[in-house]
Amino acid sequence: MALNTINPTETVSWNKLQLHYKELQKASMHEMFQSDTLRTEKFSLKWNDFLLDYSKNIINQETITLLLELANEVGLKNAIKDYFEGAIINQTENRAVLHTALRAKESAIIYVDGKNVVPEIYDVKNKIKAFTNEVTSGKRTGFTGKTFTDVVNIGIGGSDLGPAMAVEALQFYKNHLNVHFVSNVDGDHVNEIIKKLNPETTLFVIVSKTFTTQETLTNSETIRKWFLRSAKQEDVAKHFVAVSTNIAKVTEFGINPDNIFPMWDWVGGRFSLWSAVGLTISLAVGFENFDELLSGANEMDEHFKTVDFDQNVPVILALLSVWYNNFFGAESEALIPYTQYLQKLAPYLQQGTMESNGKSVGRDGKPVNYQTGTIIWGEPGTNSQHAFFQLIHQGTKLIPTDFIGYVKPLYGDKDHHDKLMSNFFAQTEALMQGKSKEQVQSEFDKQGLSADKAKFLLPYKVFTGNKPTNTILIQKLTPKTLGSLIALYEHKIFVQGIIWNIFSFDQWGVELGKQLANSILEEINTKEVKNHDSSTAFLLNHFLKNK
Ligand code: F6P
C-alpha cells in the first residue's frame, strides 16, 4: 500500500500548533521548571538501558498533546505498519524499505513480493559469521599462507559511513585486525592507506550496493593494481571479497562468486550497516558483537512499533524536532556525544538525516510550502565545548541539541569519567538556565569590580539561556546499546519524513552532480572544454592549463 499524502500544514493540529507557538515562543523554561516540580517526571522516558530527559525543551503538556495529534492526523500508525511489513513506501524507486528485517528474529516472517525474506537474511548472516570466524581465527590465509592482519573497507556513503562509525564506536570490543576505510576518489586518500599495508596480509572488502559507484570502482581498481604488483591474478580470490546487489558486475570485476555477500534492493545504502555491508564491523569486533548490535536495533524496532506514541522514544524526539524546525524556524540540530568513541556519529547521521529528508517535493508531487530536513552537525563533548559551544550559548541562532552520555565508562577510569559527565550535566543546565543580570552583578560585587567596569562587562556576561536540549543517558556503550541508539535515530528520520509528507528513502538529489562529473571528466580527458556557464568554463580552463 502507498503512503498517504497529507500536507501537514493543512491539518487541524498544525494550525493549533501555530497558535500554541505564539503563546509559547517567549516562555521561559526556567520558570516552567520552577512552577512545576513534576516537570522532569512528565517529560522523561525510561526504556531498557536508556533514559531520555526531554524536559529542557520549550514545551508544556499542550505542546506534546498537539504534536501527538499531528502524528495521528498524518497517519503515523499506519505508516509504521507499512514500513515494517514491507509495503512499497519508497515509491519513486518502487521498493520496500526493510532494513528492520535485517535485524529481525529468525522466527519472524517478512514478505517481499510474496516471499518470506527472513531465511535469505539468515543465510547471509551465517555466511558473515563463518567468514569472520575463518579470518579472525587465522584459518583463512592470504596468498603466501600468512594470516590476515589488516582489513580495508572500500566503499562510500552508506557503504562506508555506517561501518566506519560502528568500528570506531566499538573500538573497545575490537580484536587484533587493523581496519582501514578508503572512500574518497581523491587518490591521496587511497595512497595514504596503501602505504601502511602488506599485500600478503591484507583483506579487501569492496562494498557497493550498486557496484557502479565511481569512487568505489576507481579505488578498487587502484588497489587491485597495487596488489598485483606483488601477487598473481589467481591470488585476487583470496584477498578480495565484495558486498553488493549487483552480482553480475562483481563477477565481471573478477571476484570469486564464493566471496560475494549479497544484499537486497530493499535495503537503502544509508541504512545498510545491518546487512553484509556490516561485514567489516563483524571482522573488527567478531560476529557475536555484530549480532548484538543487530539485536539492540531489533529491541528498538519493537519499542518503536508497539509502544504508544507518548511513551515512544523515537516518536517523541522526532516530534520535538518538528516543533523547532517548523514552528521556531530552527535550521539545524547539534548532536553531542560525551564519548570519543562516537566521534563519527554526527557524520553518519548527516547522511541518514539529510539524504533522507533533504527533499522539497511532497508525496503529492507538489513543492512543499514548509521546511523539511534539518541540518545535523556535531562533535563529541568536551572537545566541542572548546570549539563551537559559544555560538550555541550566546549566538543568535536557536540550535536544539541532543546530548548523549553514558553512566559507565569502558575502562572504568572514575576520575576522567566524573569530569566528563560533570561537563555533560553542566552544559544542559547552563543552556537552559542561562545567567541573569542579577547573578552576573552579584559575581562582580564579590570580585569587587568597579562600577564602570561592571557596567561595561555586564551585557557580555549575561546568558539568556532557554536553549533546548534532549539528554539521552545510556548505561554503557556496548554493541547492543549502540544498535538501539542508531535504530532510534533511524526511526526519528522516518517519523519526520511521514510528517513532512516526503519520500525519505530515495536520493535523486545526488544524481545531477554525478552525471555532470562524468561529462566533465570526458572534457578533462580530451582537453576540450564544451558548453558551460562562464564561471565553470573559466575554472576548467585554468585547471587544464596548469595541471
Ligand atoms: O550518495 C548517494 C549514494 O547512492 C548513497 O545513498 C549510497 O550510500 C552511496 O551513494 C554509495 O552507493 P553504493 O553502495 O551503491 O556504492
C-alpha of 528 from chain center: 40
Residues 163-168 have a mean pLDDT of 98
Residues 156-180 have a mean pLDDT of 98
Q: Which atom of ligand 1 is nearest to the CA of 268?
A: 6
What is the distance in A from the centroid of ligand 1 to the CA of 445?
A: 59
What is the distance in A from the centroid of ligand 1 to the CA of 210?
A: 8
Say if residues 245 and 262 touch (Cβ distance below 8 Å). Answer: yes
Rounded-to-integer distance, Cα 379 and Cα 177, Å: 27
Q: Which of 165, 135, 133, 162 has its CA nearest to residue 149?
A: 135
Q: Which atom of ligand 1 is nearest to the CA of 277?
A: 14
Rounded-to-integer distance, Cα 334 and Cα 325, Å: 13
Q: Which atom of ligand 1 is nearest to the CA of 244?
A: 14
What is the distance in A from the centroid of ligand 1 to the CA of 304?
A: 27
Residue 1 has pLDDT above 90, yes or no: no
Instruction: Please give the grid coordinates belonging to residue 396.
Output: 543568535
Residues belonging to the active site: 355, 386, 514
Q: How confident is the model at residue 29 (pLDDT cuts 50, 70, 90)?
A: very high
- The pLDDT score that the predictor gives to residue 180 is 98
- Judged by DSSP in three states, 93 sits in coil
- The pLDDT score that the predictor gives to residue 254 is 87
Residue 42 has pLDDT above 80, yes or no: yes
ipTM associated with this complex: 0.98
Q: Which atom of ligand 1 is nearest to the CA of 156?
A: 11
- DSSP string covering 378-399, please? ---TTGGGGTTHHHHHHSSS--
The dihedrals phi and psi of 240, each to the nearest 5 degrees, come to -120, 125
Averaged pLDDT of the chain = 97
3-state secondary structure 398-418: CCCEEEEEEEECCCCCHHHHH
- Judged by DSSP in three states, 361 sits in strand
- Judged by DSSP in three states, 172 sits in helix
Amino acid type, 362 = G
What is the distance in A from the centroid of ligand 1 to the CA of 472?
A: 30
What is the distance in A from the centroid of ligand 1 to the CA of 291?
A: 24
What is the distance in A from the centroid of ligand 1 to the CA of 159?
A: 7
Residues 34-61 have a mean pLDDT of 98
What is the value of pTM for the model shown?
Answer: 0.97
Between the alpha carbon of residue 138 and those of residues 105, 124, 125, 126, 257, the distances in Å are: 30, 21, 20, 18, 22
3-state secondary structure 113-180: CCEECHHHHHHHHHHHHHHHHHHHHCCCECCCCCECCEEEEECCHHHCHHHHHHHHHCHHHCCCCEEE
Amino acid type, 270 = R
> What are the start-end ranges of the H helices in 138-244?
161-169, 187-194, 214-228, 236-239
Return the best residue to mutate from 154, 209, 246 for the ligand 1 pocket (most ligand atoms within 8 A of CB): 209
Instruction: Please give the grid coordinates belonging to residue 313.
Output: 522514544
Residue 4 has pLDDT above 90, yes or no: yes
**Residues ≥6 apart with Cβ < 8 Å to 31:** none
* Start-to-end CA span in the chain (Å): 54
Return the best residue to mutate from 95, 165, 350, 507 for the ligand 1 pocket (most ligand atoms within 8 A of CB): 507
Pairing of strands 111-112, 115-116: antiparallel
Q: Which atom of ligand 1 is nearest to the CA of 207?
A: 14
Rounded-to-integer distance, Cα 136 and Cα 251, Å: 25
Rounded-to-integer distance, Cα 200 and Cα 238, Å: 10
Find the helix packing angle between 511-526 and 534-546, rounded to 10°. Answer: 50
What is the distance in A from the centroid of ligand 1 to the CA of 224?
A: 21
Return the best residue to mutate from 92, 154, 156 for the ligand 1 pocket (most ligand atoms within 8 A of CB): 156
Instruction: Please give the grid coordinates belonging to residue 447.
Output: 570580585
- In the block, cell 539485536 appears at 295
Rounded-to-integer distance, Cα 382 and Cα 424, Å: 8
- In the block, cell 563483524 appears at 282
Q: What is the DSSP letter of 148?
A: P
User: Percent of the chain having pLDDT more than 90?
Assistant: 98
Amino acid type, 494 = F
Helix or strand (DSSP H, E) at 456: helix 451-461
- In the block, cell 505564539 appears at 22
Q: Whose CA is nearest to atom 16 of ligand 1?
A: 208
Q: What is the DSSP letter of 351?
A: I
Q: How confident is the model at residue 2 (pLDDT cuts 50, 70, 90)?
A: confident
Lowest mean pLDDT among 49-53, 121-125, 143-147, 250-254: 250-254
Q: Whose CA is nearest to atom 6 of ligand 1?
A: 269
Instruction: Please give the grid coordinates belonging to residue 432.
Output: 537552559
Q: What is the DSSP letter of 419?
A: H
- The pLDDT score that the predictor gives to residue 173 is 98
Q: Which atom of ligand 1 is nearest to the CA of 216?
A: 16
Q: What is the pLDDT of residues 77-105, one digit of tens each?
A: 999 999 999 999 999 999 999 999 999 99
Q: Whose CA is nearest to atom 13 of ligand 1?
A: 208
Return the best residue to mutate from 210, 212, 214, 493 for the ligand 1 pocket (most ligand atoms within 8 A of CB): 210
CA dihedral 303, 276, 226, 143 (to 10 degrees): 130
For residue 132, say if its preceding peptide bond is cis, omega within 30 degrees of 0. Answer: no
Report angle CA 136, 142, 147 to the nearest 5 degrees.
40
Instruction: Please give the grid coordinates belonging to residue 275.
Output: 546487512
Amino acid type, 24 = L
What is the distance in A from the centroid of ligand 1 to the CA of 160?
A: 9
- The pLDDT score that the predictor gives to residue 508 is 95
Q: Whose CA is nearest to atom 3 of ligand 1?
A: 157
User: Percent of the chain having pLDDT more than 70?
Assistant: 100
Rounded-to-integer distance, Cα 198 and Cα 175, Å: 19
Q: How many CB atoms lie within 10 A of CB 304?
A: 24
Q: What is the pLDDT of residues 293-339, one digit of tens each?
A: 999 999 999 999 999 999 999 999 999 999 999 999 999 999 999 99
Q: Whose CA is nearest to atom 10 of ligand 1?
A: 157
* Residues whose beta carbon lies within 6 Å of some atom of ligand 1: 156-159, 208-210, 213, 216, 269-270, 355, 507, 510
Residues 229-249 have a mean pLDDT of 95
Rounded-to-integer distance, Cα 374 and Cα 392, Å: 16
